[in-house]
Chains A and B, each alone.
Chain A
Amino acid sequence: MKDSTTLELTEGQQLALDQLHRIVQASRGSVAATHVAATADGYVEARVSVGCANLPPTQDGLRLRSVEAVTLRIPPDFPFRAPSVRTRHTRFAGAPHVNWGRHLCLYRSTATEWDPADGMYGFITRLLDWFEAAAAGQLDRPGEPLHPPNALTDHTAGLLVIRHDAPVARPDGPWLGAAVLHQVNDIRCDVVGWLAVEDPWPDSLEQLRESAALPADARAFLAPVVVTTKHLTFEYPLTARELVESLARDHITPRLLLGLTGFVAGHNRTLLCPDADATVSTGDDEDTPAAPVHLLLGTPSRGIAGDGPRRTHLVAWHLPDFADQVGRLAADTAFSGHAYLAELGDEVVRFGTDWLDRQSTRWMRVYEVRPEVTVRRDHATPAAWLRGKRILVLGAGALGAPVADMCARAGAAHLTVADHGLVHPGILARQPYTDADIGFSKASVLADRLNRIDPHATHVEALVGNVTTRLSALDLHTFDLIWDCTANRIVRAHLERARRTDTAPWPHLATLMIGHHATRGIAAISLRGATGGGTDVLRRTALAAHADATRSFDDLIDDFFPTTPPTELFQPEPGCSDATFTGSAADVTALAGQLATGVLHALAEPADRHTMAVLIVRMPTGPTGPTSTQPSGPCWLTWPNDTLATDKATGYDVRISPAAMAEMRAEARRGARLRGQRVETGGSLLGAVNDAAGVIFIDEATGPPPDSLLTEAYFQHGLDGVSGHLAARRTATGNISRFLGMWHTHPHTAAQPSTTDRAAMTSLTLPLDDAPARALILIAGGPPPVWQQWLTTGDAPDLYTHLATRTVSAASEPLPPQPPAHLGPVRWWPGGYFTRPLRPVPVPRKGPRS
């Protein structure tokens, strides 16, 4: 290697050469560096040859010499910029990852793949990788995206965004036609459709817009397109002459190019200047093109290697306005079909060809969005579920606005954002609005912004107004998912009720909430067909949190389900402003993101049978900081559907938890075994009534207390231990689960109240001090097959429920220790663990209670 001290080197270049020198020294002739020279632009070029004699030739591989030489260009700011590599020869031209015939592309993205600290060592390793892959024919391993042929773009030539899958050439000839361009602004056009020459072309701008689903005011025009049958071997030439020559190999002559350009230019005039009368048009009109001339050139070179046909790779050549004129002239003469114009046509084509030859190729920047050649960055994430879906977001605040944004970016087809609030200065600290938005409706501002994310894929609508009153304006069944981000108890109750009273299954519902200091978040998920909505899922979350013996949800209870309301409310603005939580933009965005991803994950991969779930996330601050013993990370709880019944008195939903059903069944089975098939049994029910939602929650059921009376015709609930048990459960559940009523069975008979039952309902015989004014009567029964099925398999029995209101004041006298006399002498059993019946009851002395 030439002594590099005679060169003017930067520190980095010296480092590069030192490292290279060390590699040469250590590689026993397999890496050699020869000439080192500085270039005028501050680079240092080093010629390096690499032994490739160990690489056997393969059928698909590049044919390598036993030694391969390359020139490294080492930038002055090495190692903060990677060197580049080129060859003097063009033997590798046309291979993947070879640009301009000579430049080897070693890095897809130097930002991540180039390690400055590893410098030349990593670079030479990459070079060796490249040669090994080249020899093995694995520069593109199957499944890896192909390196697109590189076209050096000219930033002043404009920008093209390709949205629609491109046509491919037939084996027997090129594809000729036009691209439908939507001019978005002065520099950018989107390709939104393709028209082959043999297709019918739209006659008016309106038709064109309609065919491409463009809005009525969209600027649109056509651009000539040629898709070749063969790959252009020498990449994309810098001069028009070279380009025209390489196209000629695929039988695309300048005559054809001019004719097509002229035909499209003429059609653009028809579309864009329909009033111009050709016969009286002035010279000025003739000279001014109706639209810019972008010639699109497709080659069959893109897609997934080794897997089906290659897709069309597209570049676009921006032509001067004159192309419009000369093209139309060529179309009007050479392609007129009139023999007398043929000679003139030839002259025009000759002139046009000369003119083309003198042009430089100004390649436009091309951005690909074509589904056929692109993969969405979120394709393998839970957010992929959102693509093409219809989404309703209630609330456009700290949670709703980011969630709506996520839905729009994920490619939801339709998004409705509902909020009644206006943007005010305080929320700018954490909600994605701006100073200019102050005073405007949050929903409208948000919808405007989200509509700009991907107007081709996502349509966003604002629903301004009170969610509870405006919701009826929407057909909720058309949505796939509703996000309740209002953190509003009223909205939640309203949804719970609306959901209950609707006969058709509701969309998935996700209810999102943030804790008082934005350190925790909760997402309650009710899948389509779940028995409970947000209120229900949050209620059972609270129950589960209270029931957890390890107390790992204590922080959650304090934050979301406190038994006593927090006394310190955060009211950021003076006056009677809504209390809110403390939290930053970082906090709410983090929580929104985690909750949204969790919800979408649950939707994309629903857990078996479990239709309701809650996700709890905790921020890496506060209670889950490094010194905290609180659990961190996300936590899931899931539930299967409840057993449903409808209350006869109110029409309310009665939702019986699986635990309560199991307890009743266990007692019924024990009774059948001990007391005989027909002896009734029963006990207390714990739960709550939510009148707003119209739901009666049955959380627990207990068996008969020891002083109960169990007979074949009658069940009398005892009192022993009941008060204590209820109090204990009440405390244990943080007041959530309370005395709700009583259940008993009607083995082998209809689940209907008997005369005795009916009589008892009005007095609600349980003489507890704090007995509520209403109590639920639940009867489980059914004809023998149904009853037997319940006992053996657990399939729900027939259920009768009735929320009865006390019309008689609570009795102060104790319960009679015997069945009512009108039943006559019967065999009866006490509750509890008695295994034998007591004697038949004699006719009582006292009259029956009524």
Chain B
Amino acid sequence: MVETELPGQGVVFWPVGTGDSTTIVVGDNLVMQVDLRDMKAADEDDAVVAAVIDRLEETLPRPDETTPYLAVFALTHADSDHCCGFGDLLESSILIGEIWATPRLWRELSEDKPMCEDAQRFQDEVERRVDATLKAVKDGKEPASGNRVRIIGYDEDRELHSYAELPDEYFTFPGDVITKIDGQDVEDRFEAFVHAPFKDHCAGDRNDTSLALQVQLKASDGTVGRLLFLGDLAYPIIKMIFENSEAAGNADRVEWDVLLSPHHCSKKAMYAEGEDGEEELKQDLLDLLQEHASPDARVIASSLPFREKDEKGNNPPHLLARDAYASITDYEVLCTGEYPSKKEPRPVVFALEPGLGLELVDVADLENKARMLEAAGGGRRLLAALGASRYPAAAFAAGAGLPHPRGTDVARAGVQQARGDKAEPAVQIGFGAA
């Protein structure tokens, strides 16, 4: 029996080199994008990366039959590895219903800090939406889809900027829950709990002002899948998120089934200077992470493949971080640049399976389903279509056929090869103490 349908809810982590680009399929035509890294020049890092915008344009739902519709775009922070290609997204045919932004860019603009072009385009778009929303509000109307904006977090300099004039309902602060997407109440299947940015860090390093969310996807049978997005936050603030949540009785809001490892699997999530000034492992954070992880929890490293070893000055991903995550979960850390192989990475797709939770969908299974759904001309094809994306580098790879599922048959063959003999060992002799 092969199920041709994938569940209608899930999440896709795109292989985009060392950067974040995550698509959350909420169901009922609602799709959310958290960060974006779409590099037209796919060889920029000599990396095999996904043309995310093209794939979104092809596969997003078209409620009006013509326009691809992205319900929400949320930007954790304005670094290039999180917003690269946003300009292209704006110029594409895709309609972005609502944008979630932090106040950070207003501060940076006023402080005249350098930012990449895509960050500038993002800020321009957010400001356009603030204006449009203010106008609509003035006219006593709701802003239209395409003009909506939500400001997440608090900055002490807010009064200097026009967004401060938005009514309260357009603001969300740490400790709040978002259950509306582009004006639609989706509480029955989606909740986003805001952990950060904290007011206290609004003037700090840009990474420290990252948006941090726990997203809960809820299936119709009550099964919940919990995703934790921590942007590029590092040890002190992550620890604070856990401690604050526990103190406020929100421990369930830091529980996680899938963790997008902060800062592309940077060791800064759990390594920090100790009292002697030397970098040391912060076991307290690992303990917190482990305590709130579900038994089948998985960690995603959205990055290039891991190097052979960490060296001083290397950017993420760090093997130290990978080993630390491995020590608190039962599964290996999934690196988007290595899954299923470094040569031909594919999107990492988790589907929300009723009764089971977020479940990694095998690449071969995805491809099968995508083909079947394409042939059937419908059904819940979004996850499959997104997941079955293949990339130029892979397309040129010789004999790039259907990937083989990771299964017990392959494992069995592996055992035999490792044993060095096809033959099974000798049959049982004797009966022991029976």
| Contact surface of A with B, Cβ cutoff 8 Å | 2, 19, 22-32, 34-35, 37, 47, 49-58, 63, 65-67, 69-71, 87-91, 109, 111-113, 115, 117-118, 121-122, 124-125, 128, 131-132, 377
B418 engages A53 (CB within 8 Å): no
Partner of B415, one of A37, A66, A70, A124: A124
CA distance A589 to B288 in the complex (A): 68
Seed contacts A55-B407, A67-B406, A109-B432; 8 additional CB < 8 Å A-B pairs: A23-B418, A30-B408, A32-B332, A53-B364, A57-B3, A111-B434, A122-B425, A124-B415
A34 engages B331 (CB within 8 Å): yes
A52 engages B295 (CB within 8 Å): no
A27 engages B1 (CB within 8 Å): no
How far does the Cβ of A377 sit from chain B's closest Cβ, in whole Å?
Answer: 8
CA distance A70 to B332 in the complex (A): 11
CA distance A37 to B327 in the complex (A): 8
Instruction: Please give, as numbers and ranges, the residues of chain B lying within 8 Å of A132 by CB-CB distance.
Output: 408
B417 nearest CB neighbor, chain A only? A26
B425 engages A53 (CB within 8 Å): no
Instruction: Please give, as numbers and ranges, the residues of chain B lying within 8 Å of A112 by CB-CB distance.
Output: 428-432, 434
| Contact surface of B with A, Cβ cutoff 8 Å | 1-3, 294-296, 323, 326-327, 329-333, 340-341, 355-356, 359-362, 364-365, 404-415, 417-419, 425-426, 428-434
- Given A2-B326, A89-B296, A124-B411, A49:B331 Cβ within 8 A: yes
Partner of A63, one of B295, B356, B406, B412: B356
Instruction: Please give, as numbers and ranges, the residues of chain B lying within 8 Å of A23 by CB-CB distance.
Output: 411, 414-415, 418
A49 nearest CB neighbor, chain B only? B331
Instruction: Please give, as numbers and ranges, the residues of chain A lying within 8 Å of B323 by CB-CB distance.
Output: 2, 35
B360 engages A35 (CB within 8 Å): no
B418 engages A67 (CB within 8 Å): no
A121 engages B428 (CB within 8 Å): no
B427 nearest CB neighbor, chain A only? A115
Instruction: Please give, as numbers and ranges, the residues of chain B lying within 8 Å of A58 by CB-CB distance.
Output: 1
A30 engages B419 (CB within 8 Å): no
* Highest count of chain B CB atoms <10 Å: which of A23, A30, A115, A121: A30
A53 engages B406 (CB within 8 Å): yes
Instruction: Please give, as numbers and ranges, the residues of chain B lying within 8 Å of A125 by CB-CB distance.
Output: 412, 415
Number of residue pairs spanning A and B whose beta carbons lie under 8 angstroms apart: 158
How far does the Cβ of B307 sit from chain A's closest Cβ, in whole Å?
Answer: 15
* Highest count of chain A CB atoms <10 Å: which of B331, B333, B341: B331
- Given A49-B331, A109-B434, A124-B415, A28:B410 Cβ within 8 A: yes
Instruction: Please give, as numbers and ranges, the residues of chain A lying within 8 Å of B295 by CB-CB distance.
Output: 87-91
CA distance A2 to B361 in the complex (A): 26
CA distance A22 to B295 in the complex (A): 27
* Highest count of chain B CB atoms <10 Å: which of A23, A67, A91: A67
How far does the Cβ of A29 sit from chain B's closest Cβ, in whole Å?
Answer: 5
How far does the Cβ of B427 sit from chain A's closest Cβ, in whole Å?
Answer: 10
- Given A69-B296, A69-B331, A52:B407 Cβ within 8 A: yes
Instruction: Please give, as numbers and ranges, the residues of chain B lying within 8 Å of A113 by CB-CB distance.
Output: 428
B327 nearest CB neighbor, chain A only? A35
How far does the Cβ of B7 sit from chain A's closest Cβ, in whole Å?
Answer: 13
B362 engages A66 (CB within 8 Å): yes
CA distance A90 to B294 in the complex (A): 11
Instruction: Please give, as numbers and ranges, the residues of chain A lying within 8 Å of B356 by CB-CB distance.
Output: 63, 65
B433 nearest CB neighbor, chain A only? A111
B405 engages A53 (CB within 8 Å): yes
A131 engages B406 (CB within 8 Å): no
9 contacts between A and B (CB under 8 A): A29-B410, A35-B326, A35-B327, A51-B410, A56-B2, A66-B406, A69-B329, A111-B430, A117-B425
How far does the Cβ of B15 sit from chain A's closest Cβ, in whole Å?
Answer: 16
Partner of B332, one of A49, A111, A122: A49
B361 nearest CB neighbor, chain A only? A66
B332 engages A51 (CB within 8 Å): no
How far does the Cβ of A82 sit from chain B's closest Cβ, in whole Å?
Answer: 12
* Highest count of chain A CB atoms <10 Å: which of B327, B355, B407: B407
Partner of A66, one of B327, B365, B428: B365
Instruction: Please give, as numbers and ranges, the residues of chain B lying within 8 Å of A131 by CB-CB distance.
Output: 408
Partner of A54, one of B296, B331, B407: B407
How far does the Cβ of A61 sit from chain B's closest Cβ, in whole Å?
Answer: 11
A123 nearest CB neighbor, chain B only? B415
Instruction: Please give, as numbers and ranges, the residues of chain A lying within 8 Å of B364 by CB-CB distance.
Output: 53
Partner of B406, one of A29, A34, A71, A122: A29
A71 nearest CB neighbor, chain B only? B330
Instruction: Please give, as numbers and ranges, the residues of chain A lying within 8 Å of B404 by CB-CB distance.
Output: 28
- Given A50-B408, A51-B410, A34:B433 Cβ within 8 A: no
B431 nearest CB neighbor, chain A only? A112
Give me the 3 closest cross-chain CB pairs, A-B, nearest first: A27-B414, A54-B407, A111-B432
How far does the Cβ of B296 sit from chain A's closest Cβ, in whole Å?
Answer: 6
B1 engages A121 (CB within 8 Å): no
How far does the Cβ of B339 sit from chain A's closest Cβ, in whole Å?
Answer: 9
How far does the Cβ of A437 sit from chain B's closest Cβ, in whole Å?
Answer: 29
